[in-house]
Structure 1
Amino acid sequence: MSLRAKLSLGTATAASLLLLAGTATAAQPGSPGIGDPYYPGAGNGGYDVSHYDIRLNYQPATDDLSGTTTILARTTQELTSFNLDFLLAVKSVRVNNRPAEHVQRGGELTVDPPGTLRAGTDLTIVVTYADVPSGRAQDGYTAWKRTPDGALAIDQPDIAPWWFPSNNHPTDKATFDVSVAVPSGVEVLSNGLFGGTAQQINGWTRWRYRSTTPQATYLAFLAIGQFEVRQDTDSAGRPVITAYSERLGADRNAAVASLERTVEVTEFLEGSFGPYPFEANGGVAAPGIGFALENQTRSTYDAAFFRRGANTYVVAHEVAHQWFGDSVSVERWRDIWLNEGFASYAEFLWSEHVGEGTAQENAQYLYDLYPADSPFWQVLPGDPGAANQFHGAVYDRGALAVHALRLEIGDEAFFELLREWLVRHRSGHATIEDFLALAEEVSGEQLDELFRTWLFTPVKPAALPGAVGVQARTAVAEPKSFRKMRETHEILAGHHH
């Protein structure tokens, strides 16, 4: 069956399900999962969130976290109860100013409000809690990272359950207000616009941040500890915040030499992707993360990326995610190629821009690097499975798939496609099938076979397509950028649970 046929079948099936749902009038509990095949328990059904207000207190000395999250949402069906994804111990829950019964089991907080909630009801959900996040695990894993001077709430695909209750799936984005009080002298970084600090009478300081563009829950982050924080603005007047852990040691200068070029990298990528989609920019560097992650408006980077000097390739990768992954998010985690393939390809574009190897040279060298019998080609970027979601092939073969598409349809159609994709789905989510449909619309070509070959076939493609619009020549030597990019991808691909 062709990808287009599968898409049509999926649309028909979805329509049938919606029709059946529309005939059901009895109130029922919201589902404890949003229906993602890779992570059945991720997200919840029955409501959509519009805003999170997260107000916390954190003591680094003991890893004690306490506070209140207020969630603004609206029901999408008649509900007798609903779930939130959350691991910490809950003290109380209120729904629309009334106390609500609740139980916790397996990372699910089930809320039983007084009375039935009609479809289309506005909800104000207030959850008060206190716990030690590093002591909580799910499936044997703890995403919260306690550090010698604080903590890092940073991970993918899950981090929210360790610090705020949520509808934890990229298909339910919301705006955020984050406010965290810590002992004075400790710094706090989060997403979006910095709202300043307020001194409290107990010797603590409260830090405030606001994300005004809808954001997926896994992209919300905290970095708490001893940081050097720098503030600036870019040429468009957007605030730019970069922060460097005081524990970076010998890696500090290389980290600064990399992250302080974030605006330059952003401006370059705007030439290919269109206007930067968010209200702020920047980055955070710290040891103890173990990877880099595209936290919206403020990517975070482990010190390991800078052990061999400055690394602007990882910056290009994470900044590219602000468009591919953050602004336009996956509809299912199976669609991860839409994030990692294009972020990895941004490194090829950056390499060409700085004169360290053309996109064609990097693609050809990478294609030649893996023999036909390498297990690398067995991983399918278009559907890698949850266990291989962040496999190196999703990054490297994913980038090759992007380049193959560019060679097939030519530069004019390729870059028009990228810009149209990012406009059409801005602040939303989409699938690989959606991208295929748009690629065919923009190019006027039938691309089923190309996508099947590069994304869904467990064999090495016979060759890169013939060049159209870019110089095609086999690299006779390793591009100057290649080793740095390979190191970057090995760290990026090696961390996820």
Structure 2
Amino acid sequence: MSRSVRLVPTVTACALALVLTACGGTGGVPGTAGSAGVADPYFPKAGNGGYDVTHYALTLAYATDTHHLTGTAEITARATHNLSAFDLDLKGMKVDALAVDGKSASWTRSGQELAVHPRSTVRQGKTFRTTVRYSGTPETITDPDGSDEGWVRTADGALALGEPTGSMAWFPGNDHPSDKATYDITITVPKGLQAVSNGELSTERTTDAGRTTTYTWRTAHPMATYLATVAIGHYDITRTTTKNGLPVYVAVDPEEAAASRRVLAKIPEIMEWEEYNFGPYPFDSAGAIVDRRGDAGYALETQTRPFFPGAPDTATLVHELAHQWYGDSVTPKTWRDMWLNEGFATYAEWLWSEDHDGDTAQQTFDALYKGTYFDDQSDDEAIWAFPPARPTSAAHISDSPVYERGAMVLHKIRETVGDARFYDILQGWAAAHRYGNANTADFTAYVEKMAPGKDFTGIWKAWLYGNGKPARP
């Protein structure tokens, strides 16, 4: 099941060097260590420098009775400079062995940083493979906003939820949205349980003389670490296709099946509507994971298979599926750019309502501006707490200004350019950065390029970056 590598009981002199200390490799090739963190404005320790990951191959086994996880991660990456050492993000968990290109390597640990010290310098441009064998009881991490993420235990299994930094609780990686990769995730669970993940199910087989079942999932398009998921438990599985043949794989906890049936049946209809408005669906499958209400405190746009804690309503389903374009395919460069995820997905809700005999986007905008949208006045006031492109701290990247005021920015653009050009912008933005990363400056430049002769200065200044409630002309 796992690749055998030799444990190294002692730490070499190179391993004792500080992470940023140069350390030459064999053959006289000089190198420096990759940075610990990529200087994200809200999560400076997230991610690592010196390499780009291209593929994760994760082999996991989880025992629900002891909550013990055993894993082997094979991480394929390309060095962006001569690397004497590099970091991976891994919180908790015991590292049992580590190798780089099949040769045992030493390592040191400090907090979430797993510093890897290969025997020789990894040359710039070289594709190399790091194999980490690890085990232990994975942690539930508390976000700065108080939400649970990481490895979350449920009544009959577990959930792996990664936004913004929870993935490091269950596999080592470059845990920042700026480094996307493809995935193969193989999970072995006790007989009678299912293991659901992203992408397409390539194999399902009985293992260990019938005592366990092993599932292998493949994600062929680049995915940020925070969008990777594993859901372990009892599920009712439904496999269907959309009109154009896209596979739809839905996993629902039996306790939520009846309440979920009607809304989940809308997935093909919603997908068709979103493709019409946002452009071709960017992935090879779609679907959903619905666990018991209370297993987690929020829905999440895990790639190809959004997660819901209990039966979602239609608006939430529209929102999380819209993220497949805005957030999953086009992913923010930093966590400061969250409004590019949430503002777009929130505006998708407004557009769905507009097209399905509900309030128009203009009516929703007006209600938010007038302070009559929410039942609680404090919620109406919270929209103006900070500008969507500048959350005040990591604890506020999922607050109302990022969602509702972010959507209001899009509506102001629509007012300025008209419907025809606005939908060109929605589709063109998704196409221009398909499978990549983008930030707010990329978006404003794209809008200006798509609407020459229009002046967006006031929108950017007052609605996107400005403090307080803008004056409305």
Residue 261 of structure 1 aligns with an amino acid whose one-letter code is: K
Moved more, 153-162 or 324-333: 153-162
Residue 112 of structure 1 aligns with an amino acid whose one-letter code is: H
Alignment of 1:30-179 (within 5 A): 30-87=34-91, 88-134=93-139, 143-179=150-186
Give the secondary structure class of the aligned counterpart of 2:33.
coil
1:404 to 401, 412, 416: 412
Residue 61 of structure 1 aligns with an amino acid whose one-letter code is: D
| Structure 1, unpaired ranges of 5+ | 1-24, 466-497
Give the secondary structure class of the aligned counterpart of 1:276.
coil
Alignment partners' CA distance in 2, 1:170 and 1:375: 27
1:4-52 per-position Cα deviation (integer Å, ceiling 9, x unaligned): xxxxxxxxxxxxxxxxxxxxx9521100111211110010000011100
| Equivalent in the alignment of 1:356 | 358
Residue 464 of structure 2 aligns with an amino acid whose one-letter code is: L
Alignment partners' CA distance in 2, 1:138 and 1:329: 20
Give the secondary structure class of the aligned counterpart of 2:163.
coil
Q: CA deviation at 1:393?
A: 2.1
Alignment partners' CA distance in 2, 1:136 and 1:441: 41
Alignment partners' CA distance in 1, 2:195 and 2:178: 27
Structure 1 contact 83–110 (Cα < 8 Å) conserved: yes
Q: Which runs of 4+ in 1 moved over 4 A?
A: 135-142, 370-373
Structure 2 contact 149–162 (Cα < 8 Å) conserved: no
Q: CA deviation at 1:142?
A: 5.8
Structure 2 contact 68–136 (Cα < 8 Å) conserved: yes
| Equivalent in the alignment of 1:214 | 222
Moved more, 266-275 or 339-348: 266-275
Pair 1:429 & 2:437 matched: yes
Residue 406 of structure 1 aligns with an amino acid whose one-letter code is: R
Pick the structure with more helix per residue. 1
Q: CA deviation at 1:135?
A: 6.8
| Equivalent in the alignment of 1:267 | 272
Aligned pair in 2 of structure 1 residues 155, 117: CA closer, same or farther (>3 Å)? Answer: closer
Pair 1:199 & 2:206 matched: yes
1:380-431 per-position Cα deviation (integer Å, ceiling 9, x unaligned): 1111132210012211111111111111111121111111111111100011
Pair 1:454 & 2:463 matched: yes
| Equivalent in the alignment of 2:247 | 239
1:276 to 276, 281, 286: 281
| Structure 2, unpaired ranges of 5+ | 1-28
Structure 1 contact 153–221 (Cα < 8 Å) conserved: yes
Q: Using the aligned pairs only, state the percent identity.
A: 40
| Equivalent in the alignment of 1:470 | none
Q: CA deviation at 1:374?
A: 3.0
Alignment partners' CA distance in 2, 1:447 and 1:170: 28
User: How large is the Cα RMSD of the aligned pairs?
Assistant: 1.9
Q: CA deviation at 1:72?
A: 0.7
Give the secondary structure class of the aligned counterpart of 1:352.
helix
Give the secondary structure class of the aligned counterpart of 2:316.
helix
1:27 to 2, 27, 31: 31
